C-alpha cells in the first residue's frame, strides 16, 4: 500500500478547540497542528483497517495445569476471559469485524464468544485441525479476510496501545507490515528487534540473555499488515511469523516498528499469569 496522498485545506476552528489540539502536540506521536487534526478525524471517521485477526489456536502447554481443562483464551483476568480483553481493545477503536483462529478446545471458545454480538462486534472463526504456528494460522484465515489492511493480534497478550494512532502510522508508509514493540528488561524469551528510524533492520528470535548488546525492544504480539503479506507464506506445513516471515520482510525493507509505552503482558506461564493478576489495570 502506498503512502496516503494529502491535500492542503484551509479550516476555521473555535479557539477552545484549537487550544485543545495544541495540548495534544508532543512533537513525536503528534507532530504539529495538521497531524493533530488528522488524528482527531481518524478517531471519528472510517479508516481502511476495520478488520482484525486474533490468533488463539495454541494449546497453552506452558500454562499447564490451567490449560488441561480450560483453553488459554478463557483463562480469567480481572473478571473476564483473557481473549475478551483483546476484543474489547479492538472494539474501542472501531474494529468490529474479527476473525479468530481456534484449535485446542475450540468449541468452548466458540460457545463463549458466539457471533460476538454480546461484545458489540462480529466474530467469525477459523477452526484448525491442529495448530500450525502463527504463520500457519494466518494462512488458514486468509479466505475470511477482506482485501484490505488488518490488525493481527496474538490471543495470549494483554496490551494497552492506541490502535487508532498505530493504524494511522502504518497508513503513512509503503510497508507491508508494522509491528508494535515494547521494551522489556530481558528480551531472551522474546524476539529482540533493532530499529533504524522506524525501519526494522534485525529480528533476533530469543537472543542470549547474557548478550548486553541485545536490543530491549520486543515484538508485542500485535501488528497491522496489508494483503501482500500472504505472498510470503509457504503453502503448507508449520509456519512461524517470527522465524519464517518477518526475516524476509526485513530483508526487503518492508517491515516497520511502532514502539509504544502502554502496559503489556505476555500471559505465557503460571508465573507471568500471577504477575498479570496483580498488575493489569485495564
30-62, pLDDT tens digit by residue? 667 766 666 555 555 445 558 999 999 987 777
The pLDDT of residue 226 is above 80: yes
- Which of the 8 DSSP states describes residue 244? I
Higher local confidence (pLDDT), 69 or 261: 261
- Which of the 8 DSSP states describes residue 235? S
DSSP letters spanning 170-234: HHTS--SEEEEEEE-S-GGGSEEEEEETTEEEEEEES--TT-TTS-SEEEEEEEEE-GGGGGGS-
Query: What pLDDT score does 107 carry?
Result: 94
Q: What is the average pLDDT value for the chain, to the nearest integer?
A: 85
Identify the CA nearest to 52 among candidates 98, 115, 100, 120: 98
Measured CA to CA, the distance from residue 91 to residue 54 in angstroms comes to 13
Measured CA to CA, the distance from residue 172 to residue 70 in angstroms comes to 41
Rg of the chain on CA atoms, in Å:
19
161-206, pLDDT tens digit by residue? 999 999 988 987 889 999 999 988 877 777 689 999 999 998 876 6
C-beta separation of 131 from 104 below 8 A:
yes
Query: What pLDDT score does 1 carry?
Result: 42
Is the pTM of the predicted complex or chain greater than 0.85? no
Query: What pLDDT score does 225 carry?
Result: 97
Could you tell me what percent of the chain has a pLDDT over 90? 52
The pLDDT of residue 98 is above 70: yes
Higher local confidence (pLDDT), 119 or 215: 119
138-161, pLDDT tens digit by residue? 999 999 999 999 999 999 999 999
Question: pLDDT-based confidence at 273, cuts 50/70/90?
Answer: confident
Class of domain 43-279: alpha beta
Amino acid at each position: 500500500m502506498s503512502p496516503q496522498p494529502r491535500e492542503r485545506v484551509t479550516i476555521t476552528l473555535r479557539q477552545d478547540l484549537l487550544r485543545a489540539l495544541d495540548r495534544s502536540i508532543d512533537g513525536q506521536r503528534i507532530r504539529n497542528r495538521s497531524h493533530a487534526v488528522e488524528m482527531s478525524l481518524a478517531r471519528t471517521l472510517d479508516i481502511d483497517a476495520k478488520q482484525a485477526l486474533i490468533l488463539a489456536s495454541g494449546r497453552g502447554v506452558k500454562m499447564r495445569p490451567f490449560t488441561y481443562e480450560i483453553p488459554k483464551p478463557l483463562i480469567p483476568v480481572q473478571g473476564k476471559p483473557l481473549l475478551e480483553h483483546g476484543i474489547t481493545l479492538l472494539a474501542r477503536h472501531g474494529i468490529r469485524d474479527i476473525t479468530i483462529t481456534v484449535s485446542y478446545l475450540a468449541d468452548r471458545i466458540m460457545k463463549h464468544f458466539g457471533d460476538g454480538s454480546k461484545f458489540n462486534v462480529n466474530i467469525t472463526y477459523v477452526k484448525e485441525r491442529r495448530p500450525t504456528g502463527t504463520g500457519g494460522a494466518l494462512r488458514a484465515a486468509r479466505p475470511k479476510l477482506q482485501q484490505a489492511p488488518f490488525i493481527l493480534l496474538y490471543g495470549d497478550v494483554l496490551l494497552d496501545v492506541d490502535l487508532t494512532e498505530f493504524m494511522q502510522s502504518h497508513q503513512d508508509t509503503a510497508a507491508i507490515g508494522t509491528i508494535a514493540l515494547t521494551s522489556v528488561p530481558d528480551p531472551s524469551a522474546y524476539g529482540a528487534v533493532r530499529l533504524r528510524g522506524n525501519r526494522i533492520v534485525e529480528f533476533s528470535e530469543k537472543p542470549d540473555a547474557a548478550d548486553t548488546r541485545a536490543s530491549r525492544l520486543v515484538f508485542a504480539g500485535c501488528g497491522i499488515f496489508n494483503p501482500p503479506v500472504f505472498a510470503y507464506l509457504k503453502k503448507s506445513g508449520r509456519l512461524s511469523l517470527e522465524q519464517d516471515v518477518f526475516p524476509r520482510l526485513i530483508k526487503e525493507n518492508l517491515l516497520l516498528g511502532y514502539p509504544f509505552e502502554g502496559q503489556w503482558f505476555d500471559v505465557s506461564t503460571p508465573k507471568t499469569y500471577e504477575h498479570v493478576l496483580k498488575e493489569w489495570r485495564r
